[in-house]
Amino acid sequence: MKLSRYHVASPPVLDHETGEMQRVIFATRSAEPRVVSAALWQLIESGELDSVPMDVLNELVDIELLVPDDEDEAAVILQRNDAAARDDDNLYLVIQPTAWCQLGCGYCGQEHFQRRLNPDHQRRFLERARAKLAAKPYKTLELTWFGGEPLVGISVIRAMTPSLKALAEEFGVIYHGRVVTNGMLLSDALATELVRDLGVGYIEVTLDGIAPYHDARRHTKKGGATFDQIYANVVSLARRDDLHVSLTVRCNVDRRNYEGVSPLLRKLAADGVQKRIGFYVAPIHSWGNDAHLESLTTEEFAEWEIRWFVEMIELGFNPSLIPKRRPIVCFAVQPNSELVDATGELFNCTEVSYVPKYGIPNQYAIGSLKDGETPGKRAVLASFNERVRRGEYACHTCRMLPVCGGRCPKLWLEGITPCPPPKFNIETRLLLRYAQLRLAASAPGASAGSRVAAAANGA
Amino acid sequence: MDSLFQAAADAYRNGKRNQRQPSAAATGRTFDHLLSIAVAARLSRDEQLLGRAASGARSRALKAARNGQLDIARQALSESAQILQSGVLSAEARLFLKSFHEAVAAYLDFKRGDPDLARARVERALAADCVLISQYGYDILELHRIQLGHNLMRVEARFGEPQQATAIGAALLSYTEGDNSSWPFPRFGDGARPDHLPDELAEAMVIQISGELAILLAGKPAEETVHLLSVALPHIEGIATDRCNDHLLAHQWLRAKWGFARQAWPAFFENLSDLLRDGLADAPLLWRASVADLYVACEALDTDGAEALRREIAEDVRAWPRVPEPVRAVFARSREATAVSI
C-alpha cells in the first residue's frame, strides 16, 4: 500500500492537553480529516507502515489515505467522477424565467432585456423534462430559478411550478425548488408564496458587504441604492419560524469591497440571524468580461477567507471549513441537465446566457427549445473530465481534485485558472476545524475565536 | 378466534413500537468480526490491507447497485477487480478476495437482469469458498457459502423459477440447521460443516432465508402458496431437523404462512404473534411480509376490529421505507389502493 497523493497534512500543532505534537490529515479522496500524532505521520509519510498499528492502518485504508501500490489514482478519481455524473439520480434543471434584472452590477457579464419565457417555450421545456424523467429512474427533480432576476419573472414561476410538481409526482420523484435572487422583491408575502406554494426550499441572496460597499456595485440600473431593501428582506425571512427554507447569503468580493465583508458579518450577527442563515464569500470571476481583473489574487482571497472564517466562528456563524467530495464539478458534465434562458436557448452552464461576448448565436448554446440539442455542442463543456484526463489542465496533478472537481470547465476553456481558495488555505482550514472541535469539547466560556485564531496563526 | 386475532393485533401494535436495534448477528457484524480474526491469522499485513481496500470498493459497489446506480457500482467493482490482479497477493489471498468479488459482481448482474451471468459468478464464488474452507481452514466461510446459496435462491425467485427457489430455500434451512445432506449444490459441498456455525449466526441466517421465502410468497394466490410451500412441510411440522425448535421465529412464520395460505385463521394468528411482537429489528423482511398478510386477513375477516386494524396498518405503511416490491404490491392492490400510496 502507498500513501495516496490526494492528501493534505497540516503543519504540526501542539496539543496542550496531551503535550503531543499533532497534525490534521485530510484525505481528499474521501474528504475525511483525521488527527494523528506528528510522529505517527512521519512513519506513514516515509512508508514505514510496518511500524504503524494495524487498527490505524485499517482506518487509513478506509478513508483512502492508503491505496494499492499500483493504482493510477488520477484515473480512478476521474472514472468515479464520470460514473457519478452518468448515474446521478437527481435531475438538475435551471430556468431563467426572465432576461431582465433591476440591478446594474458592474461585474455582471449579462446584458439584460425585457423578455420572459413564453408559454410555448414553457410547454416545450416541460415536455423535455418529462422525456428526461421517463428515460431514467431519478429520485429527485431539482429546479433552480436563475436570472436575470428570477423574481421579476414570478409569473413564469407561478405558471410552471404546478406542472413541474405534477411531473415530479407522476414519476415518483421528490421536487426541490431553488431560487438565486438579488433579494429586491423577496418580501414576506412573496417568500411565503415561494416556499408554501411554489416548492422552493432554498433561497440564495447576494449582499456585497454593508451599504457603502454593496450600493457602490449592486445598484439599480439607474444607480439607486438597494442594500437597505435587500437586507431588510433577508433579515425578515431569516427570522421567520413558520417557513421551512434554507437561506444563504453570498458575498461577491473583489478588491473594491473585501473590506465590507466583516462589517456585514457583524451586522447580520447584531441582528441575530447568524445561526439561521448560510453565509459564504465568493471571489469575483470573469463572466465573459474583465471583472476578474479587479479580483484579489486567489492567494490573497484565501488569506482573507481565513480571517472571515475566524470572525464567523466568533460571531456564531457556522462556516463550512472542510470541503466535501465533489464528483460532479457542475451540471455541465451531467448528461441530462440543462438551463433554458428566457429566449428558449439551452445551455449546460449558468454563466454564459445573455453574455454579449459569447456572440449571436451564443457560442455556448447547446441548442434551443424549438430545435432541440445541437449534436456535439454539449460536449464543449461536458468533456471537461476527458480534458483533465488528457492533462490539459493542472487538475490532473492537483491533490484537491477530489474535493474541487475542477471548479469551472468554462473558465479553464477560456484560459483562466479557476482554482478555488481551499487549494491555498486548506492547511489552515484543517487547523481551524481542529481548534473549533477541541474548544467545543473544552471548558465552557472559552473564547473560541481568540484561541482559534491563535491556533491558525500557529500554523 | 377473536382472542387469537386480538392477540395478533396487540402484538402488531407492540411490535411497531419496538425500537430494539438489530443484533450484531443480524447486521453481519458478528460474521465480519469472526472473518477478520480468521484473516488476521492467515494473511500478511499487506494482504489484509489490500483486502480491506477491496472490501471498501465492494461496499461502494453494493450500495450503488442497491440504489440502482449501476455505473457507479461498475466503477467500484472495477477497483476491486484491479486489486485482485495485484502481484502482492498469495494464491490464498487472491482466492479469498475472488469469492467476495464474484458475489458482488453477481449481484450487479442480478440487478442488470442477467440471471445466467449471476448464477455463473455465484458458482465461482462457491467454488472459491469450498477451497478456502476445505484446504485453508476458513470455517467461518460456511456462512458465506450459505449466503451464496441464498443468493442463488433470489436469482431463481426473481427470474421466474419460484418452485426452484422455494426448494433451495427449504434445503438451505435444513442445511443451516446442521443437516449436511440437504446442501442443494452438491458440486460445491467440500468441507461442509454447518453444525460448526455459531448459534446466533445460524439463527440469523435461518431468518434471512425465511425472509426471502416470505418475499417470494408475498401476494401469491393461496393455492400457489400451498403448492410452493409444501416443499418446506417438514419445517412447518417442526420435524425437518433436530434444531427446528431452536429457530422459533422463522418456524412460527412458516406455520403462520401455511395457515394463511389455507385460510386457517386461528393457526395464522396464533403463530404470528411472537414474530409481530418482536418488531422488525432482526427480521425486517419476515415482519413486513407478515404485516402484509395480516392486512389481507383483516380484509377477509370483515369485522369491526379487523377493519380498524386494517386501516391502522394502511396508515402505518405510508411511513415504511424501502418496501420490497412484492409486499408493496399487496397493499397497492388492496381495497384502499389509492389511499395506500407507498
> Which of A248, A270, A296 delimits the end of a domain?
A296
* Contact (Cβ atoms closer than 8 angstroms) between residue A425 and residue A303: yes
Amino acid at A396: H
How many residues are present in chain A? 459
Residue A49 and residue A188 in one domain: no
Which positions in chain A touch B46 (Cβ < 8 Å)? 1
Residue A277 and residue A401 in one domain: no
Confidence of residue B32 (pLDDT cuts 50, 70, 90): very high
Full domain range(s) for residue A334: 330-413
Computed over every residue of chain A, the mean pLDDT equals: 94
Residues A298-344: pLDDT tens digits? 999 999 999 999 999 999 999 999 999 999 999 999 999 999 999 99
- Count of C-beta atoms within a 10 Å radius of residue B266: 12
A199 part of a folded domain? yes
Backbone angles phi, psi at A174, to 5 degrees: -85, 135
Q: Which residues pair with A201 in a beta bridge?
A: none
The verdict on a CB contact (< 8 Å) between A61 and B45 is: no
Residue A261 and residue A351 in one domain: no
pLDDT exceeds 80 at position A139: yes
A166 part of a folded domain? yes
B323 in A contact zone (CB under 8 Å): no
Residue A405 and residue A263 in one domain: no
A114 part of a folded domain? yes
Residue A136 and residue A20 in one domain: no
Residues B89-116: pLDDT tens digits? 999 999 999 999 999 999 999 999 999 9
Confidence of residue B15 (pLDDT cuts 50, 70, 90): very high
> Which of A71, A101, A118 delimits the end of a domain?
A71
CA distance A172 to chain B (A): 10
Residue A353 and residue A276 in one domain: no
DSSP states along A184-226: TT--HHHHHHHHHTS-EEEEEEE--SSHHHHHTTS-BTT----
**Count of A–B CB contacts within 8 Å?**
59
* CA dist., res. A413 & res. B78, Å (int): 31
pLDDT exceeds 50 at position B339: no
A71 in B contact zone (CB under 8 Å): yes
Residue of B nearest to A73 (CA): B79
The verdict on a CB contact (< 8 Å) between A87 and B70 is: yes
The verdict on a CB contact (< 8 Å) between A1 and B68 is: no
Q: Which of B53, B68, B74 sits opposite A61 (nearest CB)?
A: B53
- Structurally, how many domains does chain A consist of? 3
Residue A9 and residue A65 in one domain: yes
Please state the rounded mean pLDDT for residues B135-160. 96
At residue B335, the pLDDT reads 57
Taking Cα atoms as reference points, which of A143, A97, A49, A69 lies closest to residue A337?
Answer: A143
Residue of B nearest to A65 (CA): B53
Question: b vs e for B316-339, b when ≥16 Cβ sit within 10 Å of the residue's Cβ?
Answer: ebeeeeebbebbbebbbebeeeee
Report the DSSP pairing between strands A246-253 and A278-283.
parallel
Signed CA dihedral, B157, B239, B252, B195: sign only:
negative
pLDDT exceeds 60 at position A47: yes
Residue A264 and residue A363 in one domain: no
pLDDT exceeds 90 at position B196: no
B88 in A contact zone (CB under 8 Å): yes
* CA dist., res. A276 & res. A239, Å (int): 7
Q: What percent of chain A has pLDDT over 90?
A: 91
Residue A98 and residue A236 in one domain: yes
At residue A291, the pLDDT reads 77
Taking Cα atoms as reference points, which of A304, A310, A300 lies closest to residue A455?
Answer: A310
pLDDT exceeds 60 at position A446: no
A27 part of a folded domain? yes
pLDDT exceeds 60 at position A458: no
A270 part of a folded domain? yes
At residue B342, the pLDDT reads 34
Q: How far is CA A258 from CA A215, A282, A326, B320, in A?
A: 14, 10, 27, 50
Is the pLDDT higher at A317 or at A448? A317
* Contact (Cβ atoms closer than 8 angstroms) between residue B94 and residue B112: no
Residue A232 and residue A381 in one domain: no
- Extract the C-alpha cell encoding B172: 438451505
A278 part of a folded domain? yes
Q: Which of A49, A70, A84 sits opposite B72 (nearest CB)?
A: A84
pTM value is 0.91
A169 in B contact zone (CB under 8 Å): no
Residue with cell 415504511: B320
- Count of C-beta atoms within a 10 Å radius of residue A28: 27
At residue B193, the pLDDT reads 85
Confidence of residue A168 (pLDDT cuts 50, 70, 90): very high
Q: How far apart are the first and last CA of chain A?
A: 30
Q: Report whether the peptide linkage leading into residue A148 is cis, meaning its omega lies within 30 degrees of zero.
A: yes
At residue A269, the pLDDT reads 98
pLDDT exceeds 50 at position B36: yes
Residue A52 and residue A104 in one domain: no
Residues A103-114: pLDDT tens digits? 999 899 899 999
Q: Is the ipTM of this complex over 0.85?
A: yes
pLDDT exceeds 90 at position A454: no
Please state the rounded mean pLDDT for residues B200-218. 95
A208 part of a folded domain? yes
Q: Pseudo-torsion of CA B238, B241, B245, B248, nearest 10°?
A: -80
Q: Which of B68, B75, B86 sits opposite A68 (nearest CB)?
A: B86
- Candidate from A122-131, A202-211, A435-444 with smallest mean pLDDT: A435-444
A389 part of a folded domain? yes
Report residue B151 CA to chain centroid gap.
8
Residues A234-268: pLDDT tens digits? 999 999 999 999 999 999 999 999 999 999 999 99
* Contact (Cβ atoms closer than 8 angstroms) between residue B277 and residue B283: no
Residue A106 and residue A22 in one domain: no
pLDDT exceeds 50 at position B41: yes
Which positions in chain A touch B53 (Cβ < 8 Å)? 1, 61, 64, 66-68
Taking Cα atoms as reference points, which of A299, A218, A297, A327 lies closest to residue A264?
Answer: A218
pLDDT exceeds 60 at position B220: yes
- Cβ neighbours of residue A425 closer than 8 Å, sequence gap 6 or more: A302, A303, A305, A306
Amino acid at B172: L
> Which of A71, A100, A127 delimits the end of a domain?
A71
What CATH number is associated with residue A137? 3.20.20.70
- Cβ neighbours of residue B37 closer than 8 Å, sequence gap 6 or more: none
Please state the rounded mean pLDDT for residues B278-284. 89
Which positions in chain A touch B89 (Cβ < 8 Å)? none
H or E element at residue B259: helix B248-261
CA distance B52 to chain A (A): 7
Residues B150-183: pLDDT tens digits? 999 999 999 989 999 999 999 999 999 999 999 9
Is the pLDDT higher at A439 or at A183? A183
Please state the rounded mean pLDDT for residues A144-159. 97
Q: Name the 3-class secondary structure at A147.
A: coil
